[in-house]
């Protein structure tokens, strides 16, 4: 019983210790930490390009998070921090690309393609309808003739089937 208690105490201690080790670079202020994460989620980690610096544990990401924290502490706005990062690492550091003339194709390209696809679809459907309208209209006599031709063919097939 005492052993068990000791063990659990030890486990609890080691857990809190390792936790303290991980949390070392962050400050104690949970509100600030939340802001740091919010801003960090908009910044790309340039070492691991598909992650934000909030997700990444690359050394550069840790440094940049610290930078974000310091600037927030100094009272800078998110906008100012993003500008600071862009001035150093370029637009690529923004996880969500900005809306500007050079990124219009990126933002509206898919819509353009969709519009193009819709256009092709409409043209094709119209052409098909036109073809249908151009189909010859049969007179009553022609209908009878067609009917007889079709049944004849069916009969023929039936005959072949019967024979086999």
Partner 1 sequence: MKKSFIPLAIFVVLVVFLWIGLTLNPREIPSPLLNKPAPAFKLVQLHEPNKVITPEALRGKVWLLNVWASWCATCLQEHPLLVEMARQNIVPIYGLNYKDQREAGMAWLRQHGNPYILSAHDLDGRVGIDYGVYGVPETFVIDKAGIIRHKVIGAMTPEIVQDKLLPLIKELNNG
Contact residues for partner 1, defined by CB under 8 A: 46-47, 49, 59-60, 63-64, 67, 86-92
Pick between residue 87 and residue 137 the one whose CB is nearest to partner 1.
Answer: 87
The CB-based long-range contact list for 40-49 (8 Å cut-off, 24+ gap) reads: 40/64, 40/65, 40/68, 41/95, 42/78, 42/82, 42/94, 42/95, 42/96, 43/68, 43/82, 43/85, 43/93, 43/94, 43/95, 44/92, 44/93, 44/94, 44/95, 46/89, 46/92, 46/93
Pick between residue 13 and residue 47 the one whose CB is nearest to partner 1.
Answer: 47
Which residue shows structure tokens 């933002």? Answer: 107
Pick between residue 92 and residue 108 the one whose CB is nearest to partner 1.
Answer: 92
Partners of 44 in beta bridges? 52
State whether residue 69 is helix, strand or coil.
helix
Q: State in angstroms the smallest separation of the CB of 47 from partner 1.
A: 6
Pick between residue 87 and residue 131 the one whose CB is nearest to partner 1.
Answer: 87
First and final C-alpha spacing in the chain: 90
State whether residue 42 is helix, strand or coil.
coil
Pick between residue 59 and residue 79 the one whose CB is nearest to partner 1.
Answer: 59
């Amino acid at each position: 019983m005492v052993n068990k208690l000791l063990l659990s105490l030890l486990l609890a201690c080691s857990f809190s210790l390792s936790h303290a080790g991980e949390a070392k670079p962050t400050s104690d202020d949970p509100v600030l930490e939340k802001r740091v994460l919010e801003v960090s989620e908009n910044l790309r980690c340039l070492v691991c390009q598909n992650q934000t610096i909030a997700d990444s544990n690359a050394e550069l990401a840790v440094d940049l998070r610290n930078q974000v924290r310091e600037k927030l502490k100094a009272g800078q706005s998110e906008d100012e921090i993003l500008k600071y990062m862009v001035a150093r690492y370029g637009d690529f550091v923004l996880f969500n690309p900005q809306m500007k003339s050079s990124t219009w194709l990126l933002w509206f390209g898919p819509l353009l393609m969709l519009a193009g696809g819709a256009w092709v679809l409409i043209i094709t459907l119209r052409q098909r309808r036109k073809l249908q309208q151009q189909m010859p209209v049969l007179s009553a006599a022609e209908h009878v003739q067609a009917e007889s031709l079709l049944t004849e063919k069916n009969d023929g097939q039936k005959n072949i089937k019967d024979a086999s």
